[in-house]
């Protein structure tokens, strides 16, 4: 069966520090991978999606970047965090249209 791992579950980082959130998927090949952020009043905002290794599409201009170094690995990064980067970040995968989510990372930038 397919599983998705996302870590860490919670993270507190100072403003200006770097960020790296990792997501891995098991039990499937060549999945589409997504990073979402849940923000009050905006629901689940799609940040990045990837249909293959090295292929990243950015949906919203921001202080974040994403990379897919391996087929089942998706990384969300920032060189310098802003206060506005605080939020609940979710990784997801899909093979067809249905998406399956990780447990999320609560990021607090202080």
Partner 1 sequence: DQQVKQNSPSLSVQEGRISILNCDYTNSMFDYFLWYKKYPAEGPTFLISISSIKDKNEDGRFTVFLNKSAKHLSLHIVPSQPGDSAVYFCAASDGAQKLVFGQGTRLTINP
Q: Does 87 bind partner 1 (CB under 8 A)?
A: no
Q: Does 15 bind partner 1 (CB under 8 A)?
A: no
- Interactions with partner 1, residue window 17-56 (CB under 8 A): 32, 34, 36, 41-46, 49, 51
Of the pair 30, 80, the CB lying nearest partner 1 is at 30
Measured from the Cβ of residue 52, the count of other Cβ atoms closer than 10 Å reads 12
Q: Does 1 bind partner 1 (CB under 8 A)?
A: no
C-alpha pair distances (Å), 15 with each of 2, 12, 26, 40, 61: 36, 10, 33, 21, 19
Q: Closest distance between partner 1 and the C-beta of residue 79, in Å?
A: 26
Which stretch, 12-20, 68-76, 78-86, 93-101, contacts partner 1 (CB under 8 A)?
93-101
**Contacts to partner 1 by CB under 8 A:** 6, 32, 34, 36, 41-46, 49, 51, 57, 59, 88, 90, 92, 94, 97-104, 106
């Amino acid at each position: 069966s397919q599983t998705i791992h996302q870590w860490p579950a919670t993270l507190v980082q100072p403003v200006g520090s770097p960020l790296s959130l990792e997501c891995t998927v098991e039990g499937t090949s060549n999945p589409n991978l997504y990073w979402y952020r849940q923000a009050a009043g905006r629901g689940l905002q799609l940040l990045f999606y990837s249909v293959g290794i090295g292929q990243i599409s950015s949906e919203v201009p921001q202080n974040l970047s994403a990379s897919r170094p391996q087929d089942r690995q998706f990384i969300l990064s920032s060189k310098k965090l802003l206060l506005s980067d605080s939020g609940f970040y979710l990784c997801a995968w899909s093979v067809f249209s249905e998406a399956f989510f990780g447990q999320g990372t609560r990021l607090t930038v202080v």
